[in-house]
Each structure stands twice: as structure tokens, then as C-alpha cells.
Amino acid sequence: MASEETETQHRMGVDRDTYREFVEWVGEEPEEAKMEYRARGVGEDVIARTTATVGEWELGGEEMGQDRHHELHYGVPEEIETAVGSADPTDRIEAVETALSALTACINGTVQFNALREGMDVHEVETSVSITFDPQVLFGHADADRATEMLGDPAIEVEIHGDDLDDADREKLASYYRRSPVFDMLTSPHPTEPSVTVHGD
């Protein structure tokens, strides 16, 4: 009996009551629930290789994650390193691939968050993303004002598996990807101008 109660109380690996309390808190305290995420990347000695770190973040104006540290090592596929003349070609995850994989994770999580919020029994979500890339602007063969031509439109496929879903549930599940922060970041205009400082004589 206890195991059945535990299974009922927990869904997708979390306690349902605790999750509902968190969701209610987000709605009741919108300023306190605002988050700021950060990343820092340092270029390495080999062209196109970067070590990026993520750690501290902000919740409601309060610094969090002082003991948090994750390193990510970016670059290009080994074939590209060989083509550009790298002395020691190494295969690394490319930055565009990273953005695509982050999108899959965010869509999956967004579907799960909202399915649980609505009490739906979803047990598997899989997202696949691909995009074409034309390197003409990157390598100086076209002006930067043509940067919007570099990437094609992303192809996104989301598969959701659940039990006891009616038509209304299916319609909601099919729309949840629109609530994904990374989907919004990659598909909606977010104009910005980086602050660039050049050092040296």
C-alpha cells in the first residue's frame, strides 16, 4: 500500500504537492521568481576552441549557486579542424549544435513541467532539431548585413508519449513547446548590441 501511495504522490521523479506549491509560488510572487542565468567563455590557444563555464545565477535578485561550477568545451568537428590546418585535430561539440541540444532539453522540460501542472500522465518526451548553416558570412565572403542568411529555418520534431490522454490533453501537449524559453530566445527577436572592449596597442 505504501509503495502505491508513493507512486501516486510522485510523478516524473518529483513530489506532486511540492511541485504544485512551487508553481503557485511562481504565480503569486512574480518578481521573486524571476531568474538570471549567465555563462562565460574563454577562447583557447587553438582557433575556434572555447572553454565555457556556468555557475552562479540569480533568483529574485538574490545570488545563488556560489558553489556551482560546470565546464563545457566547445569547438568544431575534427574534420573541420583538419581542414583549417589544426596541428592536433580534435572533435568537439560545435556551438550551433549546443544551441540545438539546449533547445531539445528546454522543449522536453517545458512539456513535462506543464503536463505535470495539468495532471497529465506523460512518461516520455523526445525532441529532435536540425538546421542548415551557410558559412559565407562567418568566413568573410559575405557582409555581416547578410547574417540572417547564415541559418535556415530549424526543423523541430517533438514526440510525446502518455497514458489516458483525451483530445483536449493532446491539443494542450502539442502547444506546450511555445512556452519554452530557449524556443523563444532562438525564434523571437531579442535585439542586443554586445559591449566589446579591445585591449592592446
Query: What CATH number did the domain enclosing 166 receive?
Result: 3.30.300.20
Which tens digits make up the pLDDT trace of 35-86? Answer: 999 999 999 999 999 999 999 999 999 999 999 999 999 999 999 999 999 9
Tell me the DSSP string of 110-150. Answer: HHHHHHHHTT-EEEEEEEEEE--B-TTTTTTSS-GGGGGGS
In this structure, the answer to whether residues 87 and 119 fall within a common structural domain is: no
Report if residue 161 sits inside a domain. yes
Q: Determine, yes or no, domain membership for 196.
A: no
Domain boundary among 41, 75, 91: 91
pLDDT at 111 over 70: yes
pTM for the model: 0.92
Q: Are residues 68 and 155 in the same domain?
A: no
Q: Are residues 111 and 66 in the same domain?
A: no
DSSP 3-state assignment of 63? strand
Residues 123 and 71 in one domain: no
- Residue 41 has phi, psi (to 5 degrees) of -125, 135
Say yes or no: 110 and 86 in one domain: no
Q: Which residue has the higher pLDDT, 10 or 151?
A: 151
pLDDT of residue 70: 98
Query: Residue 160, exposed/middle/buried by CB under 10 A (0-12, 13-18, 19+)?
Result: buried
Quickly count helices (H) and strands (E) in the chain: 6, 11
Determine, yes or no, domain membership for 59. yes
124 and 47 share a domain?
no
- Structural domain boundaries, residue 68: 11-91
Q: What residues form DSSP beta bridges with 56?
A: none
Q: What mean pLDDT is reported for the chain?
A: 95
